[in-house]
Amino acid sequence: MEEFYIESDGIRLHSKLDKPEGFEKGPLCILFHGFTGHMEEDHIIAMQKAMNDMGVAVLRVESYGHGGSDGAFEDHTLYKWVTNALDVVAYAKKLDFVTDLYLCGHSQGGLLVMLVGGMCADDFKAILPISPAWMIPEGAREGNLLGIPFDPAHIPDLLCFDDKQLKGNYIRVAQTIHVEDEIARFKGPVFIVHGTADEAVPYFYGQKAAELYENATLVSIEGDDHCFTHHLDQMADAIRDFFRN
Ligand code: FER
């Protein structure tokens, strides 16, 4: 494992690169965590290990305001995450050992993958949005995020939840994002894994994304939740199967 920082728009993104044993040249997958998440979560590590098992190097990166990266959580927005991801893609494209590039992310990181997949469609052999939270822009426009209602025409200064808070700019930015446009622009293979009992991002959104993409596969994990806490092994097996074929 190599640990380092990737520069993005004046901030440092905490990153870890794990190569499979004996790896010299080969595919690389960039892997993003979700909202309030980080790169050491069990489901992120399970994805990284499954890809390493299949001969794929994995670059885990923590986005603005998360994990060991710069920026405050309350200041993060999807624009900042997209800017970060574009810089990470540019970084990965310059690595001399990379043959094919893949992009994977969980939840809000899955939404990020759907956006950047469309924006940089030529760069990826395939994209893997896992439990993708692509209803966030819709929720921002309708006035409900994380189960907290607000007036979408008069955005509050702060959205408070648990022991955290998020500034109104998160909502303002999310309201401008139209994921369907970016779904339409990615014609390559899309691999989605979603737990059927996900309470944070309803399974319906995994199904709907799979229908809208030109070339998508959806693997359903029966009865599992947002982070696959009951069947982490099944989620990892699905990812191994994807890279095997
Ligand atoms: C929301 C639902 C899900 C939301 C964020 C998420 C900010 C993201 C979850 C995750 O990344 O794990 O309404 O609003």
pLDDT of residue 1: 98
- Which one-letter amino acid corresponds to residue 207? Q
Looking from the CA of residue 111, the nearest atom of ligand 1 is 11
Domain span at residue 109?
2-244
Residue linked to tokens 């790169």: 39
pLDDT of residue 85: 99
Q: Ligand 1 in contact with 183 (CB < 6 A)?
A: no
pLDDT of residue 87: 99
Helix residue ranges, H only, the chain: 42-53, 78-93, 108-119, 136-142, 168-175, 179-185, 203-212, 232-244
User: Angle at CA 126, nearest 5°, toward 32 and 226?
Assistant: 45
pLDDT of residue 234: 98
Q: How many Å lie between the centroid of ligand 1 and the Cα of residue 24?
A: 37
pLDDT of residue 145: 98
Looking from the CA of residue 107, the nearest atom of ligand 1 is 11
Closest C-alpha among 9, 80, 76, 36 to residue 227 = 36
Q: CA 38, CA 163: separation in Å to the nearest integer?
A: 17
Residue nearest to ligand 1 atom 2, measured at CA? 146
Q: How many Å lie between the centroid of ligand 1 and the Cα of residue 98?
A: 32
Q: Residue 242 — pLDDT band, cuts 50, 70, 90?
A: very high
Q: How many Å lie between the centroid of ligand 1 and the Cα of residue 245?
A: 31
pLDDT tens-digit readout, 163-211: 999 999 999 999 999 999 999 999 999 999 999 999 999 999 999 999 9
Q: How many Å lie between the centroid of ligand 1 and the Cα of residue 95?
A: 32
pLDDT, mean of residues 39-44: 99
What's the CATH code of the domain at 61? 3.40.50.1820
pLDDT tens-digit readout, 202-222: 999 999 999 999 999 999 999
Q: CA 198, CA 196: separation in Å to the nearest integer?
A: 6
Q: Ligand 1 in contact with 63 (CB < 6 A)?
A: no
Using DSSP bridges, classify how beta strands 164-167 and 11-18 pair: parallel, antiparallel or unpaired. Answer: unpaired
pLDDT of residue 44: 99
pLDDT of residue 16: 99
Number of domains in the chain: 1
Provide the whole-model pTM: 0.98
pLDDT tens-digit readout, 1-15: 999 999 999 999 999
Q: For the chain, give the mean pLDDT.
A: 98
pLDDT of residue 178: 98
Q: At what angle do helices 108-119 and 78-93 cross, to 10 degrees?
A: 60
Q: Ligand 1 in contact with 78 (CB < 6 A)?
A: no
Looking from the CA of residue 174, the nearest atom of ligand 1 is 7
pLDDT, mean of residues 52-67: 98
Q: CA 36, CA 79: separation in Å to the nearest integer?
A: 16
